[in-house]
């Protein structure tokens, strides 16, 4: 929402929030309207639980959903663990990614089909994981203009981050860097300084992250969403703690752990508490 508020191009626009969960929809409406009022932005918020209705006369559509919620995600992690398959997040590839795709593709395709009828010229930006599979399905089975995006997508042009991991002055780097791959398994293919010098030799020498060093040495690329990389290479998805019937929260190699739904559920409660404070006038 802050990005919408900052955009001069979107000033005067109507943002329609849609969810089948009325409680969550009301939460997002409260948060959005509070932020818009605080920032004195020229935006209007509308809400609906009707998918097709929300898409009428749309110019841009953002899909960010979680079919089955945290309960389904928990099964995606725990069921494979019973058979020795441990995943850091379980939302991109492997058993967790496959089952998540099965849940989301029918819904996302239905969004595309509705758009064909009511807003055929709209652009769709999909943030729903597994982004690669979901976006491929929308492009294959609908005629809408759909694209997959991720919060990691900005890293190849993030000077401060790249400067920090290379221990160099960010202003010396020529950005954006050349990057490629699929979502959560993408990497910087070439990184140079503004004088044209290859920055990868310095990266190999100075980067401390073991996964990034492994990728540089074996593939000659620099992964950025590196924690997700482990799920695409089974040899990297190994536990450091013993599995005793519950995988969530267990330590894995390379300084990561199996994602824990306890944290996700607490995050939801945190937002609910904030909405309650806003409703009571306790938040400026």
CATH number at 110 reads: 3.90.1820.10
Residue 165 lies in a domain: yes
Same domain? 22 vs 109:
yes
pLDDT of 234? 87
Which residues, other chains included, contact 62 with Cβ-Cβ below 8 Å and sequence gap of 6+? 124, 125, 126, 127
- Global pTM reads 0.91
- If asked whether residues 162 and 121 sit together in one domain, one would say no
Supply the pLDDT for residue 57.
Answer: 97
Query: Could you tell me if 141 and 43 lie in one domain?
Result: yes
Q: What is the pLDDT along the chain (284 residues), one digit of tens a residue?
A: 888 999 999 999 999 999 999 999 999 999 999 999 999 999 999 999 999 999 999 999 999 999 999 999 999 999 999 999 999 999 999 999 999 999 999 999 999 999 999 999 999 999 999 999 999 999 999 999 999 999 888 889 999 999 999 999 999 999 999 999 999 999 999 999 999 999 999 999 999 999 999 999 999 999 988 889 899 998 889 999 999 999 999 999 998 999 999 999 999 999 999 999 998 888 87
Look at residue 252 and tell me if it is in a domain. Answer: no
pLDDT of residue 52: 98
Give yes or no: residues 182 and 135 share one domain: no
Does any domain span residue 35? yes
Residue 89 structural domain:
2-152+260-279
Q: Note the pLDDT of residue 246.
A: 98
Could you tell me if 89 and 191 lie in one domain?
A: no
Residue 11 belongs to a domain: yes
171 and 78 together in one domain: no
Domain count, the chain: 2
The pLDDT assigned to 108 comes to 98
Quote the pLDDT of residue 215: 93
**Residue 40 and residue 164 in one domain:** no
Instruction: Based on the fold, state whether residues 189 and 92 are members of the same structural domain.
Output: no
Same domain, 217 and 269: no
Q: In this structure, is residue 245 part of a structural domain?
A: no
CB 133 within 8 A of CB 159: no
147 occurs within a structural domain = yes
Is 135 in the same domain as 266? yes
Final residue before a domain boundary, out of 177, 204, 224: 224
End-of-domain residue from the set 224, 245, 271: 224
142 and 53 share one domain = yes
- Please report whether residue 109 resides in a domain: yes
Pick the last residue of a domain from 201, 224, 247.
224
Tell me, yes or no, whether 239 lies in a domain.
no
Instruction: Mark whether 266 and 145 lie in a shared domain.
Output: yes
């Amino acid at each position: 929402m802050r990005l919408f508020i900052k955009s001069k191009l979107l000033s005067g626009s109507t943002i329609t929030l849609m969810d089948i969960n009325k409680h969550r929809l009301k939460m997002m409406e409260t948060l959005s309207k509070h932020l818009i009022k605080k920032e004195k932005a020229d935006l209007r918020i509308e809400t609906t639980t009707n998918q097709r209705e929300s898409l009428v006369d749309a110019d841009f559509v953002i899909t960010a959903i979680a079919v089955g919620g945290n309960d389904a995600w928990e099964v995606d992690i725990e069921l494979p663990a019973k058979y020795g398959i441990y995943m850091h997040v379980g939302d991109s590839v492997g058993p967790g990614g496959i089952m998540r795709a099965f849940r989301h593709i029918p819904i996302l395709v239905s969004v595309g089909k509705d758009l064909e009828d009511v807003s055929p010229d709209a652009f769709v930006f999909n943030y729903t994981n597994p982004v690669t599979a979901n976006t491929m399905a929308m492009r294959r089975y609908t005629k809408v203009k759909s694209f997959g995006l991720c919060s990691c997508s900005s890293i190849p042009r993030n000077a401060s981050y790249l400067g920090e991991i290379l221990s160099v002055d960010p202003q010396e780097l020529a950005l954006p860097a050349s990057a490629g791959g699929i979502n959560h398994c993408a990497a910087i293919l070439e990184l140079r300084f503004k004088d044209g010098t290859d920055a990868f030799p310095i990266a190999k020498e100075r980067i401390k992250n073991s996964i990034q060093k492994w990728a540089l040495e074996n593939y000659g690329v620099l992964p950025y969403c590196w924690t997700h990389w482990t799920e695409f290479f089974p040899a990297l998805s190994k536990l450091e703690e013993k599995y005793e019937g519950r995988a969530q929260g267990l330590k894995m190699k390379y300084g990561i752990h199996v994602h824990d739904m306890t944290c996700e559920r607490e995050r939801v409660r945190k937002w609910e508490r904030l909405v309650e404070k806003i409703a009571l006038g306790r938040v400026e």
